[in-house]
Structure 1
């Protein structure tokens, strides 16, 4: 409940400040956010974080699969195996450029 109240308060404050600031301020903030997002240092950091996250997820999947693999239904195990075989390490469907 506490998190819902915090979110609701933040949404209300954002709405009030947004309506007071107007469209001009919104456009300024949007352009500033775009400049930050297009910054090469930010992009490289985001890409490396995504790669690290994928590596951690793959490692966790291996550990979980080893621990509960024999308890999973055969259809789930077969699906996981087929997905592993289809995907190569070079596949990158997250939109990152690996630069």
Structure 2
């Protein structure tokens, strides 16, 4: 979905900047995009996706915190190891 959206945006920008139609065509496309964005069905879907993303972030917060703590502990323990064979950055 992300790649498709990026392609559509890129194709639109390429068309607008690559044509001789100029400002009038740009305004026409801008108006179409604005009316699409403000469509109640689109906004309803955006709201649903935002709520889903927020809930997902809340659900994953504990797991992400644990992973971050483990990564920091692992990094700190490696940086305090003076043996360059187990800690390649220690000899620098």
TM-score normalized with structure 2 length: 0.53
The match for 1:62 is 62
State the shift of 1:37 in Å: 0.9
Tell me the TM-score normalised to structure 1 length. 0.50
Runs of 4+ in 1 over 4 A off after TM superposition: 67-73
Shift of 1:63: 1.4
Structure showing greater radius of gyration is 2
The structure, 1 or 2, with the larger RCO (C-alpha pairs under 8 Å, 6+ apart) is 1
Cα separation, partners in 2 of 1:70 and 1:23, compared to 1, 3 Å:
closer
Instruction: Compute the RMSD of aligned alpha carbons.
Output: 3.0
> Structure 1 stretches of 5 or more lacking a match?
1-6, 74-99
The alpha-carbon distance between structure 1 residues 30 and 71, as it changes in their structure 2 partners (threshold 3 A), is closer
Counterpart Cα distance in 2 of 1:65 and 1:57: 11
Aligned pair count?
A: 64
**Cα shift at 1:13:** 3.6
